């Protein structure tokens, strides 16, 4: 029985039971209605039916006024035709309640020669009565069976009580994921480590001949969107061995012991199909540190983790089983899970560099129609910090814009607009208010001016007063290479660049006319300055780390920790941060004042065009002052 008919039956059965119950309860009433209808049919249409007592009925018989009698309901009712002297001796239909079908009454009617007829009680056939008595229990039992079968087919239903301890892992004897190592780009080091895992499974003798042992676990660590799950799919597609895949959250249930039972069942099935691979995504859902919760932690999760630790490297071996797990929170994992013998390898899957981004773009552009003058290298240079998922989304957004604009191929404009949309949000309506537009233009030109004139700052890429997201205007800076290490001069230049908008408002409109537009910039400035003082040792307090890593509070581990910094040191930190920001702001204001004429010219151009790219900005600015590292200017998107 398919789901559609099962749903129909679940509606029909209760209705049928209600109808049958109603028929059982109101059967007598229906029979009475039938009797009344029969009685009514015996009455003449022109004669009125009245009632008469039994004693008066006998008097009418003795007086010879009764002409005929029809008896119903086994002698309980009678319809009598009698001559009524009050109605000019006309024949009248009269209803009489009899005490029963007494032989004396029948004999008296015979003696008086009165015509009478006894009508038998209408009864249902015996078969129909038996069926009516059995139908209600049968429908009730059938409905209960159907409900039980439906509950068994639903997760967590009564029939699933014995299935709680079974693993929910998806199993494939030969996983056809459609992903190979050739489809994974930008993570060359991680891919090399995982290719060895596949070789272990296909040619174990290559390693065992020199005494090497197959690794028991590989932990993929990296930010979201860097390709951890994609790598697992590639391993499954390349290895050609049985493959189990599930999420860490699928182990844990509200009932204590269920997760541990699922772990045992998972490894039992894996041992029956070894050599095999087990992929656990988001393992931090089950592998968090034990005893780190308020009140000792969650017993179900900890028992599940204990069972997982035992199965990975316990008293019994699990040769031929390789576990691959992925997480972006390695800091919360239990130390016993991270030791050699369980997860022997930790593979870092980080955001790709420019070469990695280029290779990722080549993979995702295979099915895209690109314009001839669009260079993938320029896109890779335009997108520092983008992960593989971000780049795939970028090309997809560019393709959507191309279709929306009814073009045949993706051009530079679509890619540039897609980058802006991903980074800053959707484009809003252009500003029409002259004063607000001019103020925002000065703010954005202030950012771009400081960033261009400082040698250590990243080159400006684009300045616009078209609103995007929550921002009314934006200034983009693009590094000319991937920066792994940042110098003190670069951090100071970034602080000054962030203060450029407020400095421009201050110089042009005065201290009383500065706006809240610099709120986000000031937050960035405070964060960078405090990290320079407390984390990187770039202040007069010396090369001392005065604060720990700014991570999320982990209950049970960080909730009760105390700061090792005294109140006096805290005051000195605040003073150093304040002095550093004041010094940077003073220098920023000085640069803006010395280049006021160039700023006014650039603001006029920006208000007219609404968007200026980095090349045009530097060209105009170079007419008024010299620009350091002018050759570092990067266009919005270069062509081939």
Q: Quick check: helix, strand or coil at residue 77?
A: strand
Cα–Cα distances in Å, from 638 out to 364, 412, 612, 613?
Answer: 20, 8, 15, 12
* Residue-level pLDDT at 508: 92
Instruction: Count CB neighbours of 613 within 10 A.
Output: 21
- Regarding whether 280 and 294 lie in a shared domain, the answer is yes
pTM score of the predicted model = 0.67
| Domain-embedded: residue 218 | yes
- Regarding whether 255 and 333 lie in a shared domain, the answer is yes
- Regarding whether 306 and 332 lie in a shared domain, the answer is yes
* Residue-level pLDDT at 151: 52
Q: Which of 115-124, 323-332, 583-592 has the highest mean pLDDT?
A: 583-592
Q: What is the dihedral of CA 182, 188, 191, 192, to 10 degrees?
A: 110
Are the C-beta atoms of 32 and 77 separated by less than 8 Å?
A: no
Confidence of residue 638 (pLDDT cuts 50, 70, 90): very low
- Regarding whether 537 and 446 lie in a shared domain, the answer is yes
| Domain-embedded: residue 553 | no
* Residue-level pLDDT at 97: 81
- Regarding whether 47 and 31 lie in a shared domain, the answer is no
Confidence of residue 630 (pLDDT cuts 50, 70, 90): low
Q: How far apart are CA 347 and CA 388, in angstroms?
A: 17
pLDDT in tens, 479-491: 766 677 889 999 9
**Domain CATH number, residue 613:** 1.20.58.760
- Regarding whether 25 and 67 lie in a shared domain, the answer is no
pLDDT in tens, 88-116: 777 778 888 887 767 777 778 777 778 77
Nearby residues of 458 by Cβ (< 8 Å), 6 or more positions away: 451, 477, 478, 479, 480
- Among 174, 195, 176, 217, CA closest to 308: 217
Of the two residues 80 and 442, the one the predictor is more confident about is 442
**Domain CATH number, residue 59:** 3.30.720.210
Q: Say if residue 42's pLDDT is above 50.
A: no
Are the C-beta atoms of 223 and 182 separated by less than 8 Å?
A: no
Q: How far apart are CA 589 and CA 523, in angstroms?
A: 19
With a pLDDT cut of 70, the percent of the chain lying above it is 77
Q: Say if residue 506's pLDDT is above 80.
A: yes
Q: What is the mean pLDDT of residues 275-297?
A: 76
Residues with catalytic roles: 444
Q: How far apart are CA 371 and CA 414, in angstroms?
A: 10
Q: How far apart are CA 506 and CA 522, in angstroms?
A: 14
- Measured in degrees and rounded to the nearest 5, phi and psi for residue 69 equal -135, 130
| Domain-embedded: residue 348 | no
Q: How many domains does the chain have?
A: 5
Place of tokens 């199993």: 171
| Domain-embedded: residue 347 | no
- Regarding whether 209 and 142 lie in a shared domain, the answer is no
Report DSSP state, residue 43. S
pLDDT in tens, 43-95: 443 344 678 887 788 888 888 888 888 888 767 788 888 887 776 777 778 88
Q: What is the mean pLDDT of residues 250-278?
A: 80
Q: Sign of dihedral through CA atoms 449, 455, 458, 461? A: positive
Range of the domain at 24: 1-37+137-163
Q: Give, rounded to a whole angstrom, the gap between the first and last alpha carbons of the chain.
A: 63
- Regarding whether 513 and 458 lie in a shared domain, the answer is yes
pLDDT in tens, 346-363: 888 888 888 888 889 988
| Domain-embedded: residue 391 | yes
Q: Sign of dihedral through CA atoms 519, 524, 526, 529? A: negative
| Domain-embedded: residue 560 | no
- Regarding whether 583 and 606 lie in a shared domain, the answer is yes
């Amino acid at each position: 029985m398919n789901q559609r008919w099962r749903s129909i039956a679940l509606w029909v059965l209760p209705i049928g039971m209600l109808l049958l119950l109603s028929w059982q309860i109101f059967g007598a009433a229906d029979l009475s209605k039938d009797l009344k209808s029969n009685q009514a049919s015996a009455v003449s249409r022109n004669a009125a039916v009245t009632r008469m007592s039994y004693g008066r009925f006998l008097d009418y018989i003795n007086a010879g006024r009764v002409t005929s009698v029809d008896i119903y309901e086994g002698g309980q009712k009678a319809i009598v035709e009698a001559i009524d002297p009050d109605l000019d001796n006309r024949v009248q239909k009269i209803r009489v309640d009899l005490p029963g079908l007494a032989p004396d009454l029948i004999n008296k009617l015979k003696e008086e020669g009165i015509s009478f007829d006894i009508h038998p009680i209408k009864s249902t056939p015996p078969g129909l009565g038996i069926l009516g008595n059995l139908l209600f229990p049968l429908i009730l039992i059938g409905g209960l069976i159907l409900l039980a079968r439906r509950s068994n087919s639903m997760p967590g239903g009564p029939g699933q009580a014995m299935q709680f301890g079974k693993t929910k892992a998806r199993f494939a004897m030969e996983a056809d994921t459609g992903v190979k190592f050739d489809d994974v780009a930008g993570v060359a080091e991680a891919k090399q480590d995982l290719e060895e895992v596949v070789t272990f499974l296909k040619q174990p003798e290559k390693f065992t001949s020199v005494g090497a042992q197959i690794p028991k676990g590989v932990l993929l660590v990296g930010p979201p969107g860097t390709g951890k799950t994609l790598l697992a799919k590639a391993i499954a597609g390349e290895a050609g061995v049985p493959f189990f895949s599930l999420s860490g959250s699928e182990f844990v249930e509200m009932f204590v012991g269920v997760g541990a039972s699922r772990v045992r069942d998972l490894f039992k099935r894996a041992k029956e199909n070894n050599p095999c691979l087990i992929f656990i995504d988001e393992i931090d859902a089950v592998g968090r540190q034990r005893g780190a919760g308020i009140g000792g932690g969650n017993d179900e999760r900890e028992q599940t983790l204990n069972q997982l630790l035992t199965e990975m490297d316990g008293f019994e071996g699990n040769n031929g089983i390789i576990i691959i797990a992925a997480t972006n929170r390695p800091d919360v994992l239990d130390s016993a899970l991270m030791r050699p013998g369980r997860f022997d390898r930790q593979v870092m899957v980080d955001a790709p560099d420019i070469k990695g981004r280029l290779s990722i773009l080549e993979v995702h552009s295979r099915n895209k129609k690109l314009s001839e003058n669009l260079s993938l290298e320029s896109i890779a240079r335009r997108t520092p910090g983008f992960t593989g998922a971000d780049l795939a989304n970028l090309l997809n957004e560019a393709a959507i814009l191309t279709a929306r604009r009814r073009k045949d191929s993706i051009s530079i404009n679509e890619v540039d607009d897609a980058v802006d949309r991903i980074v800053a949000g959707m484009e809003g309506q252009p500003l029409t208010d002259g004063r607000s537009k001019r103020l925002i233009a000065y703010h954005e030109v202030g950012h771009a001016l400081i960033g261009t004139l400082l040698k250590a700052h990243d080159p400006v890429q684009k300045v616009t007063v078209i609103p995007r997201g929550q921002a009314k205007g934006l200034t983009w800076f693009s590094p000319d290479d991937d920066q792994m290490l940042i110098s003190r001069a670069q951090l100071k230049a970034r602080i000054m660049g962030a203060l450029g908008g407020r400095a421009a408002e201050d110089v042009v409109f005065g201290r009383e006319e500065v706006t809240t537009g610099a709120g986000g910039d000031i937050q960035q400035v405070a964060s960078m300055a405090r990290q320079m003082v407390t984390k990187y040792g770039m202040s007069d307090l010396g090369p001392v780390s005065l604060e720990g890593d700014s991570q999320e509070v982990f209950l049970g581990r960080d909730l009760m920790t105390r700061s090792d910094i005294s109140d006096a040191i805290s005051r000195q930190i605040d003073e150093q941060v304040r002095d550093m920001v004041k010094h940077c702001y003073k220098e920023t204001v000085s640069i803006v004042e010395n280049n006021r004429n160039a700023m006014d010219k650039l603001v006029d151009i920006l208000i007219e065009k609404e968007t200026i790219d980095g090349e045009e900005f530097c060209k105009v600015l170079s007419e008024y002052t010299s620009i350091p590292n002018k050759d570092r200017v990067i266009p919005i998107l270069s062509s081939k």
